[in-house]
Amino acid sequence: MTIGERIRKRRKQLGLSVDELAEKLGKDRATIYRYESDKIENMSLSILDPLAKALRISPAYLMGWEFKKEEHLESEYCYFPTSISAGLPLGIDSIQEDECEMIKLPDSVMGKWAGKDDIFITRVNGDSMNKIIPHGSLIVVKSVELSELKDNDIVVFSNGGDYSVKRFFHDRENERVIFRPDSHDNRFFDYIVSYENAKSLKIHGKVVLYIVELD
């Protein structure tokens, strides 16, 4: 396998587009195509090091001097063992920073989120999101600001210390935020918080990936 083939294979494994990889490197997409087509000979360290970093691999692996199976490439993440409720945010244990454990997940599973340091992993408990996220799934949560959220984003939030995961909707006209279930069970309903009652409301992050464990 050539350097270009390793670059292309690893990029696709991480779920990165050509444009996304180009942006990480401060290059244009034509340059990335040249890398992947082996049209740049004798790749220098000034290119090799940032390229390897962007692809979450070592320069030696990229050059073919170090052999590892791609499926064995892993990164560590902060994992909170407390399960986040997929029901109403009532009586659910909160996430405590000192409870953070480390969990290793294959880069091939994490895709473009592999190795990111602004994400954490936890688990969903309940069925109010089971059209999208089954009970027991691991969720990958990225820290975001409220202003970055869009309607229909899936978020982890708390209100007064109790945690839940739902779809987010910002109803500015009626001055409220809505957290909506996405379930096959129609007994679940919207959790609505008015601006007036939202003093303790906090968005902990946006769910960017979920991982289902099959029996």
pLDDT score, position 48: 84
Structure tokens at 107: 């880069």
The maximal CA–CA distance of the chain, rounded, in angstroms, is: 63
Q: What percent of the chain has pLDDT over 90?
A: 34
CA distance 142 to 162: 19
78-87, 120-129, 181-190, 191-200: least confidently modelled range? 78-87
Q: CA-CA distances (angstroms) from residue 120 to 102, 108, 200?
A: 10, 17, 22
> Phi then psi for 208, rounded to 5 degrees?
-105, -15
Structure tokens at 19: 């444009």
C-alpha of 50 from chain center: 22
CA distance 21 to 157: 31
Structure tokens at 170: 């910002």
Helix, strand or coil for residue 116? coil
> Phi then psi for 152, rounded to 5 degrees?
85, -10
Question: How crowded is the C-beta side of 5, counted as CA atoms within 13 Å?
Answer: 3
- Where does the pLDDT of residue 64 fall: very low under 50, low under 70, confident under 90, or very high at 90 and above? confident
Q: Which residue has the higher pLDDT, 96 or 14?
A: 14
Q: Yes or no: say if 4 and 37 are a contact pair by the CB < 8 Å rule.
A: yes
Average per-residue pLDDT for the chain: 84
- Where does the pLDDT of residue 19 fall: very low under 50, low under 70, confident under 90, or very high at 90 and above? very high
Measure the N-to-C terminal CA separation of the chain; round to a whole number of Å: 36
